[in-house]
C-alpha cells in the first residue's frame, strides 16, 4: 500500500490483510510503518467489498475507488479524532483477499459462522430431552 502523507509526499509500506472465521464480519489490516510498532485496524468485510466500487463508510474508516471507471486503485482513509491517515491500494489484491475470505465464510453466511450452536431453540430442546431421558 502507499501511505499518502501529503500531496507531495508518499511512500510504500508493507501491510498484512487477515481474516478470522470466528469474527466473520470483520477483516483486519496491519500496517508496518517504519520505526513504529505495527498498527492494526479491524472493520467490516462488507465495507471493504463495497468500497471497491463506490465511496462507503462513516466515521473512522472510509473506502472509495480512486477512479470512477472500472476496478482501479482504492483509497482507504482511517481517522482517530482529528488525526487522519490516507492509503492507496491496488484493487486486484483486495479482490483476491476478499475472494479468499468468501471461500472460508461466504458473504451472507456470517450468521451461521457466528452461531456455533446453530438453531438455539433446537439445541435447547435437544439438551432438555437428554436431561429428561437421563434422569
The structural domains of the chain, with segments of one domain joined by +, span 2-109
Among 10, 99, 14, CA closest to 52: 99
Q: Which CATH architecture has domain 2-109?
A: Roll (2.30)
Question: In a 3-state reduction of DSSP, which class is residue 37?
Answer: coil
Stated pTM of the model = 0.79
pLDDT of residue 117: 56
pLDDT of residue 31: 92
pLDDT of residue 115: 62
pLDDT of residue 27: 96
Which residues in the chain come in under a pLDDT of 50? none
pLDDT of residue 133: 62
* C-alpha of 125 from chain center: 36
* C-alpha of 83 from chain center: 21
Give percent helix, percent strand, percent coil of the chain, each to the nearest 5: 30, 30, 40
Amino acid at each position: 500500500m502507499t501511505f499518502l502523507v501529503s500531496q507531495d509526499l508518499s511512500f510504500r509500506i508493507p501491510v498484512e490483510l487477515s481474516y478470522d472465521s470466528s469474527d466473520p464480519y470483520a477483516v483486519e489490516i496491519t500496517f508496518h510503518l517504519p520505526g513504529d510498532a505495527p498498527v492494526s485496524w479491524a472493520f467490516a468485510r462488507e465495507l471493504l467489498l463495497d468500497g471497491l466500487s463506490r465511496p462507503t463508510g462513516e466515521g473512522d474508516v472510509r473506502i472509495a475507488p480512486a477512479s470512477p471507471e472500472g476496478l482501479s486503485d482504492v483509497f482507504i482513509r482511517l481517522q482517530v479524532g482529528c488525526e487522519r491517515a490516507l492509503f492507496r491500494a491496488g484493487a486486484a489484491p483486495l479482490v483476491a483477499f476478499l475472494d479468499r475470505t468468501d471461500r472460508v465464510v461466504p458473504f451472507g453466511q456470517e450468521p451461521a459462522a457466528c452461531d456455533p450452536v446453530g438453531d438455539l431453540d433446537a439445541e435447547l430442546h435437544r439438551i432438555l430431552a437428554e436431561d429428561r431421558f437421563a434422569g
